[in-house]
Structure 1
């Protein structure tokens, strides 16, 4: 293998619902579906993504997952694709997150896992000394907390 491809495997409560959600999120069909298991081989971004049907009581330590794209137009195209599939998306445009100015949308999978589709518009350059940085305004709260209010698990 000449290039590295990240692999992410998550537990899901309902495989059928989750497969449908991820078909819509990634815009591709799974390459393998078996009893209690599905695999997506995503080209953009390169990702080996697996679903394992396994009951659980909490989402756990996972905060969120994301797909970084190269333009606001791609963010909006993902939003249209997800909304056409009947999924609720939440805009978070022109926002500061993780010390970067971003345009993004959020969507939550059937298991409560939050996904962001985002583009970085401007960010600090970590290669220059602190005294030369023009800091991107950062809120006093933890990064990416705006998505938490849109999670179905937020009210549990």
Structure 2
């Protein structure tokens, strides 16, 4: 079974946690100074928010797999949908978790993450492709029909112009 995943970048974490706690009727399953996650069962969703300098709004969509086999199935679907343009991060630490993951982009450039979480971690994460230490999220280069950029693969933050090289 899979769990739908939505990650939203927010301006004020405490204000947003209070709002979503009331909206969902329960507190976050995981909370850090700059991050919170609700693991809802009805509907089955992993809903996360973070205040880490990204532009406010939708950060990315995804599916959380419950096994390595389910993740492999998701990768096959992503490769088919995106003509093989999948950014494989393998074993990554991101969002206070260690996960095996990969990314793809839809035709509009929206990032989709597929991941299988192996363990919680004490740190938000880091990525060698993101010098700022941010987790890597693919972005399409300036040309509308261009494939995902690699290794400069992060959504721009508020201070980076659209199409900027990486999070910073």
Superposition TM-score, scaled by structure 2 size? 0.44
Which one has a larger percent helix, Structure 1 or Structure 2? 1
Computing the radius of gyration from Cα coordinates, the structure with the larger value is 1
Superposition TM-score, scaled by structure 1 size? 0.47
